[in-house]
Amino acid sequence: MTAAEPLIIVVSGPGGVGKGTIVTALVERDPKLWLSRSWTTRVQRAGESSAAYVFTDRAAFEARIDAGGFLEWTEFLGNYYGTPNPEIADGRDVVLEIEVDGARQVKALQPQAILIFVLPPSRDEQERRLRGRGDADHKVAERLQKAELEEPIGRELADYIVVNDDLERTIDEMIEILHRCRSGGAST
Ligand code: 5GP
């Protein structure tokens, strides 16, 4: 019997839902996971780690698009975001934390990818989390509006929908989903 193909786990969901915190905790808990680092043309936020993304400019991003260097990419609220073609030799399962257009592209390319769509417990909580990142009011409004558009698409694409009402509980639920997928279980 050959070793199982690495899983591709796509974690998507509206801004402010806590995806970044969730995927960071997931890879800390599960050493069989490998977190992809995206490229973006967005400027680094105050207090944001310089390792959060490969921060780049439009010319370099477009050159990489032309060279076929992205598994998927999109333009989100005026900036490019993209997943470099994954290069992992050690058989770890790949985690992508991306928005819904990218999730749709990955599903089209790799139908076996598992899409977990994360929702906030409420719009109020989502807004509170977005404001907590220090974004300007108009940026928060823009992201909330975008979230309204993304939610029905994400629900439609999702293999699993998880409500991030409590971080620890959410991570436990996602670990359980991973174990089910690794043992060949179907989504519910
Ligand atoms: P943020 O600016 O808040 O870091 O990210 C904005 C949105 O882009 C989030 O929904 C985030 O998940 C998504 N995103 C981050 N990296 C990528 C990527 O490589 N591809 C796509 N399609 N979306 C991404």
Tens of pLDDT, residue by residue over 14-47, are 988 999 999 999 999 999 999 999 999 999 998 8
Does the 8-36+91-182 domain belong in CATH 3.40.718.10?
Answer: no
CA distance readout (Å), 133 to 48, 67, 112: 9, 34, 34
Please report, as a single letter, which amino acid is at residue 147: A
CA 162, 50, 126 angle in degrees (round to 5)? 30
Q: Is the CB of 93 under 6 A from ligand 1?
A: no
pTM: 0.94
DSSP annotation of 30 reads -
Query: Given this model, what pLDDT does residue 135 score?
Result: 81
Please report, as a single letter, which amino acid is at residue 64: R
Q: Which residue among 10, 21, 38, 157 has the greatest number of ligand 1 atoms within 8 angstroms of its CB, and so is best to mutate?
A: 38
Q: Is the CB of 76 under 6 A from ligand 1?
A: yes
Atom of ligand 1 nearest to the CA of 11: 12
- Centre of ligand 1 to C-alpha 143, Å, is 12
Both tokens of 185, joined, read 């279980």
b vs e for 70-101, b when ≥16 Cβ sit within 10 Å of the residue's Cβ?
bbbbbebeeebbbbeeeeeeeebbbbbbbbbb
Domain residue spans of the chain: 8-36+91-182
Q: How many beta carbons lie within 10 A of that of residue 116, not counting itself?
A: 28
